[in-house]
Amino acid sequence: QQPVQSPQAVILREGEDAVINCSSSKALYSVHWYRQKHGEAPVFLMILLKGGEQKGHDKISASFNEKKQQSSLYLTASQLSYSGTYFCGTVPSGNTGKLIFGQGTTLQVKP
């Protein structure tokens, strides 16, 4: 079953912050985050393993709460280049090969 992402769409001005949430009904081993530009393949952002870690690079970070089976992606001081569709991918505990993605969150950053 696909993880559920929220919101479905976000419109921001440059410099504003955004949070994208990902929730699963299954116990998770790991969560992946990807960004896709129109007409291109998804590109990896980061992976979080169970253990409640938080990761980040540049102004994009993420957290993973394994007890709640939830992850959040934080985009701070957004830039025009952040526009695209963001996908979370989940790997269930006990089956480390089955990578399932959510329905995506479309982010539009305006000048």
Q: Which residues bind other proteins (CB under 8 A)?
A: 1-2, 5, 29-30, 32, 40-44, 47, 49, 87, 89, 91, 96-104
Could you tell me the smallest distance in angstroms from the CB atom of residue 57 to other proteins? 13
Residue 79 or residue 103: which is nearer to other proteins going by CB? 103
DSSP line for the chain: ---EEE-SEEEEETT--EEEEEE-SS-EEEEEEEEE-TTS--EEEEEEETTT-EEEETTEEEEEETTTTEEEEEE-S--GGG-EEEEEEEEETT-TT--EE---EEEEEE-
Could you tell me the smallest distance in angstroms from the CB atom of residue 45 to other proteins? 9
Could you tell me the smallest distance in angstroms from the CB atom of residue 101 to other proteins? 4
